[in-house]
Amino acid sequence: DAGVIQSPRHEVTEMGQEVTLRCKPISGHNSLFWYRQTMMRGLELLIYFNNNVPIDDSGMPEDRFSAKMPNASFSTLKIQPSEPRDSAVYFCASSFSNTNYGYTFGSGTRLTVV
Amino acid sequence: DAKTTQPPSMDCAEGRAANLPCNHSTISGNEYVYWYRQIHSQGPQYIIHGLKNNETNEMASLIITEDRKSSTLILPHATLRDTAVYYCIVRVPGANSKLTFGKGITLSVRP
């Protein structure tokens, strides 16, 4: 079991550019979560999916952010256009929704927007 | 509106037990207590969870008071690698339930 796989591990981009973060959940997990972590705001839940359907996107900061889950094994978080205040570590996590066990987190993508 | 309160930090000596407290006085009957930790620069890691009975696994023990208003995570023999931020979270498990992180408690294990 390779765990939750995120790519890239690090991303440096210029303000105004489009950024796409990728996540492969654990095989068989049917819930997927995107979090953002900054020193100021801590860990924030951006959006989560159940069975590939977005359930709650109330944490998405603004329209520049979008997330998709085209199938059970892949999800993307896109920022367009990116801004320096988007700099953060973005984590993806997955779980079985029908159990009370915990989430498994990926190693994160460290995004720097200059 | 935080559902749990934790002290901001604590430390303990290597090899000794680390007892991390958490208050959740407004917990409802179907909410579980979850503990996660985050070692520097890594993603959060699930540790343990419980409803009302004490639980133990290979990582830690969870002691929940009888009234369920507080709990303690116990690392029986802390090592330097246990230095991390520990999060106590209450949550109803299920497809429409979110895992919301607070500020957690920073545990520093000293040699």
Place of tokens 């309160």: B5
B53 versus A10: which is more confidently predicted? A10
Residue A98: its pLDDT value, please?
A: 67
Do residues B97 and B1 lie in contact, with contact meaning Cβ atoms separated by under 8 Å?
no
Between A1-5, A30-34, A99-103, B3-7, the lowest mean confidence (pLDDT) is in: A99-103
Residues of B in contact with A97 (CB under 8 A): 94-95
pLDDT, tens digit (0-9, with 9 covering 90-100), for A32-47: 999 999 999 999 999 9
Grouping H, G, I as helix, E, B as strand and the rest as coil, residue B82 is helix
Residue A97: its pLDDT value, please?
A: 76
Confidence category of residue A2, pLDDT binned at 50, 70, 90: confident
Residue A22: its pLDDT value, please?
A: 98
Q: Please judge whether A108 and B103 are an interchain contact, meaning their C-beta atoms are less than 8 angstroms apart.
A: no
pLDDT at residue B74 is higher than 50: yes
Residue B1: its pLDDT value, please?
A: 46
Q: What is the mean pLDDT of chain B?
A: 93
pLDDT, tens digit (0-9, with 9 covering 90-100), for A61-113: 889 999 999 999 999 999 999 999 999 999 999 998 766 678 999 999 999 99
* Cα nearest neighbour of A51 on chain B: B95
Residue B84: its pLDDT value, please?
A: 98
Closest approach of chain A CAs to the CA of B66, in angstroms? 21
Average pLDDT estimate for B16-21: 98
* Cα nearest neighbour of A43 on chain B: B101
Give DSSP secondary structure letters for A38-75: ETTTEEEEEEEEETTEEEE-TT--STTEEEEEEETTEE
Closest approach of chain A CAs to the CA of B12, in angstroms? 24
Q: Please judge whether B34 and A99 are an interchain contact, meaning their C-beta atoms are less than 8 angstroms apart.
A: no
Place of tokens 């070692």: B39
Average pLDDT estimate for A11-37: 96
What's the rounded Cα separation, in Å, for the pair A6 and A28?
Answer: 17
Average pLDDT estimate for B70-77: 97
Do residues A75 and B10 lie in contact, with contact meaning Cβ atoms separated by under 8 Å?
no
Residue B95: its pLDDT value, please?
A: 63
Residues of B in contact with A34 (CB under 8 A): none
Which residue of A57, A95, A98, A100 to mutate against B (max B Cβ within 10 Å)? A100
Whether A25 and chain B come into contact, CB under 8 Å, resolves to no
Closest approach of chain B CAs to the CA of A95, in angstroms? 10
Residues of A in contact with B45 (CB under 8 A): 105
